[in-house]
């Protein structure tokens, strides 16, 4: 079977690092926001201030919204969302804040309890969105 060949006149998508996590000129372990073609990938975002699950969820979603807008996207263009809860008992409170934040057609979502969410955040969320 022959390899797929791009159509004439169509540009091959490229990877663009939108938020580089390098420190002191060293190659980072990962970057926080990367675009590829018309998709944007945002690494897990946590909230590291005092508050309950509702405060943390709102803080995380606000940060994600800011990054999406910088990338030329928006909350209603999120296709996939992964939610990591430090404790599954916070599921209802997270859902209460999550409801409606992605427009009338929310993304597909996976929600799990994850031991050791970094930085004492009660929730961490990562997304894939369309630009």
Residue 121, in any domain of the structure:
yes
Q: What tens digit of pLDDT does each residue of 50-87 get?
A: 999 999 999 999 999 999 999 999 999 999 999 999 99
In 1-131, beta strands by DSSP E? 15-19, 33-36, 39-46, 78-85, 108-113, 123-130
Residue 16, in any domain of the structure:
no
Q: Give the CATH number of the domain where residue 105 resides.
A: 3.30.1330.40
Residue 67, in any domain of the structure:
yes
Residue 52, in any domain of the structure:
yes
Residue 113, in any domain of the structure:
yes
pTM of the entire predicted model? 0.85
Phi-psi sector, 39: left (phi>0), alpha (psi -120 to 50), beta: beta
Per the structure, the count of domains in the chain is: 1
The answer to whether residue 100 scores a pLDDT higher than 60 is: yes
Residue ranges making up the domain that contains 116: 31-130
pLDDT band of residue 24 (cuts 50, 70, 90) is low
Residue 61, in any domain of the structure:
yes
> Which two structure tokens, joined as six digits, stand for 26?
């060293």
The answer to whether residue 23 scores a pLDDT higher than 70 is: no
**Which of 83, 94, 93, 90 has its CA nearest to residue 124?**
83
Residue 7, in any domain of the structure:
no
pLDDT band of residue 108 (cuts 50, 70, 90) is very high
């Amino acid at each position: 079977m022959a390899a797929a060949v791009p159509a004439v006149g169509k540009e091959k998508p490229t990877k663009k690092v939108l938020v580089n996590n390098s420190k002191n000129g060293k190659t980072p372990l990962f970057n926080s926001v990367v675009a590829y073609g018309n998709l944007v990938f945002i690494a897990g975002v946590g909230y590291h201030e005092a508050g309950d699950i509702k405060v943390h969820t709102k803080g995380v979603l606000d940060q994600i919204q800011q990054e999406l807008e910088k990338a030329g996207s928006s909350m209603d263009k999120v296709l996939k969302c992964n939610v990591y809860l430090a404790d599954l008992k916070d599921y209802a409170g997270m859902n209460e804040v999550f409801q409606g934040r992605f427009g009338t057609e929310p993304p597909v979502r996976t929600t799990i309890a994850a031991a050791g969410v970094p930085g004492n955040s009660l929730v961490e969320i990562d997304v894939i969105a369309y630009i």
